[in-house]
């Protein structure tokens, strides 16, 4: 039981962190242009192109 009392909250917190990260990414516009994101890895030197 004691192990559960620790592990269950840990599992839930980790899950919630993942969910929060997803929402952060969603709000930050990272899902706005999925085609572009897929292609951007092919651009050689992207640091020069973005401000």
Partner 1 sequence: MNAPALATALAREASEETVLIVPAMHCAGCMAKVEGGLLKVEGVSGARVNLSARTVRVSHERAVTIPELTAALETLGFASQPRLEETQAAPSAVKPLLAPLAVAGFASMNVMLMSVSIWSGAEGATRELFHWVSALIGVPAIAFAGRPFFASAWSALRKGRTNMDVPISIGIALATALSLYETAVGGRTAWFDGTLMLLLFLLAGRTLDAAMRDRARAGVEALLRQAASGAMVIAPSGKLDWVAARDLAPGMRMRVAAGERLAADGEIVAGETALDQSLLTGESAPVRAQVGAPIHAGTLNLDAPIDVRVTATGRDTSLAEIARLIEAAGQSRSAYVRIADRASRYYAPAVHTLALASFVGWMLAGAGFYQSIVIAIAVLIITCPCAIGLAVPVAQVVACGALMRKGIMVKDGSALERLASIDRALIDKTGSLTLGQPMPDAAALAALSPEQSEVALALASHSRHPLSHALSRALVQSGTRAAELDHASEAPGRGVQAQWCGRTVALRRPDVAGAVAVALDLDGEPVRLITFVDPLRPDAVQALAQLKAQGIDCSILSGDNAVAVAEVARQTGLTGQSSASPADKTDAVTRLQQAGHRVLMVGDGLNDGPALASADASIAPGTASDVGRQAADVVFLGESLTALPRAIDAARRTMRVVRQNFALAIGYNVLAVPLAILGYVTPLIAAVAMATSSILVIANSLRLVRAAR
Report the residue count for the chain. 51
Q: Which residues bind partner 1 (CB under 8 A)?
A: 1, 4, 8, 11-12, 15-16, 18-19, 22-23, 26, 31-36, 39-44, 46, 48-51
Measured from the CB of residue 40, what is the shortest distance to partner 1 in angstroms?
7
> Considering the complex, what minimum distance in angstroms separates the CB of residue 41 from partner 1?
8
In SS3 terms, 1-51 reads as: CHHHHHHHHHHHHHHHHHHHHHHHHHHCCCCCCHHHHHHHCCCCCHHHCCC
Q: How far is the CB of 48 from partner 1 (least distance, A)?
A: 7
């Amino acid at each position: 039981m004691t192990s559960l009392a620790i592990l269950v909250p840990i599992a839930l917190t980790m899950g919630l962190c993942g969910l929060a990260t997803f929402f952060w990414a969603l709000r930050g516009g990272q899902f706005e242009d999925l085609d572009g994101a897929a292609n951007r890895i092919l651009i050689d030197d992207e640091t020069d192109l973005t401000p």
